[in-house]
Structure 1
């Protein structure tokens, strides 16, 4: 029998904290209407053309796909880029900002999501660490240089029925080769990590300042456990929000078996009791 979430304990921890680390996986975006690609069949429901061709997420989210089938690869990533640009972050992002405003050192974000939703929700760009990069930035597919630049000028036109890009590719500013997203893919030895490394350095400096840390982890699964391990390795308390995988390794963690938005709303309601 599942134990009901202890939202009162979550609120007490937040009330006592002087810094909030938000660690987020793909499950956070579900309440905004974004797909989470859980399992091959979930991925194929989101991209039926790839399902018909029996192309798995690991195959298309791969530099080899850009070399072999660039229009298909950019059809997939171009559709995602358009989707993320059009998506409005759900209310939970605003609640997280409210939680952080109570604290001396505010919040820092660590996320494996490449969607840029924390930027869009108004979080300080200097306090976001995107460990897998961002789809909103580009790099040269051929690796002629290590530069990273914004994708703002690229407007993908995608035939969603076939999942293919129909307009011109984004191009490297130096050699004019096809550009690719500055995203860490599967089997990816060519990802330029300078932007993400600088973000991680800022996060490390911020963590040194915080004395009473609370980590809120939202929608991070065990398949690729980068986000989960980040929260577990940090000192301080960990609130793990996940409807399917809320299990925690020890007593310093609070399991919350719920969707992200619903859990954050429940915590906010309890936290209001501490407000003057």
Structure 2
């Protein structure tokens, strides 16, 4: 987008939000890329990584071993990620009353780390772990300590970071990894408390997000391609309600035709500019 076009679109975005205090935010992986966490899809919308499928995870102990070995290595880099300028701008705009609740498809909790409140983690968070057998929940930090104790000689390393917190390891590296067991029931069915591909978003989160969409004076989409229906449905609902929609991403999205304002620009600088225009 040319500079003049960008300025015009930013002016339109600022006017929309100024006229709609408490604008709802829907954020996706593109908002966290400037924190070093890549998104699943490239500019063409095609997946760049193959995520763990829910049916594979629940149906195979080998798949769980592969996931936890990769995630054990990947957690070092993923958990070290910090909020970027985009997260900071969103939090400041929210505290200034310009933005309201945030529905995020991300599992990194960087919105909260930046100081945002009223965040719906639509797809869960990697910081929590749940046992699929007995339902016990535990901290990922505590589980990480247990996995380190159970795998004292596990030496795989990677500088890679992926959207779901794991990395790529070969079969030889994975084979020796001891899978963590539930502290309560002893089952090997611990799962990060996130929605895997092929798994349904919990009903209460969907209902909460629809309610926020119905109440919102406007909807601002940040860094989501909207290819996955779990996010796109809220944009479609807003449009059906006649609610103004704006989208800021690096590339065209599935919802562009439903939006009154579309910016294909880097999120950190764009949101920082928006912050300045709104005097927040």
Deviations 1:106-164 (CA, angstroms, capped at 9, x unpaired):
5211121112222222222xx22122222111112xx3233443323122557235635
Who is 2:129 aligned against?
138
Distance 1:119 1:171, change over 3 A: farther
Residues 1:89 and 2:83 aligned together: yes
Asked if 1:18 corresponds to 2:9, the answer is no
Q: Is this contact kept in 2: 1:63–1:186, CA < 8 A?
A: no
* 1:221 equivalenced with 2:231 (yes/no): no
Q: Is the 8 A contact 2:90 2:116 kept in 1?
A: no
Q: Residue in 2 aligned with 1:152?
A: 141
SS at match of 1:139: strand
TM-score (norm 2): 0.74
- Render the CA deviation track for 1:14-46: whole Å, top value 9, x for unaligned: 112221211111111111111113257843xxx
The answer to whether the Cα contact below 8 Å between 2:107 and 2:121 also exists between their aligned partners in 1 is: yes
Aligned residue in 1 for 2:263: 256
Q: TM-score normalized by structure 1?
A: 0.75
Count of residues in correspondence between the two structures: 248
Quick check: 2:54–2:198 contact (8 Å CA) kept in 1?
A: no
Contact 1:89 1:120 in 2 (8 A): yes
2: CA distance between counterparts of 1:65 and 1:205? 34
Contact 1:58–1:186, Cα closer than 8 Å, also in 2? yes
1:84·1:117 contact (CA, 8 Å) conserved in 2? no
Matched, 1:68 2:62: yes
1:29-178 matched pairs, under 5 angstroms:
29-38=32-41, 42-43=48-49, 56-58=50-52, 62-64=56-58, 67-103=61-97, 107-124=100-117, 127-140=118-131, 143-155=132-144, 159-160=156-157, 163=169, 168-178=178-188
Aligned-CA RMSD value? 3.2
Unaligned runs of 5+ in 2: 149-154, 159-167
2:94–2:116 Cα contact (<8 Å) kept: no
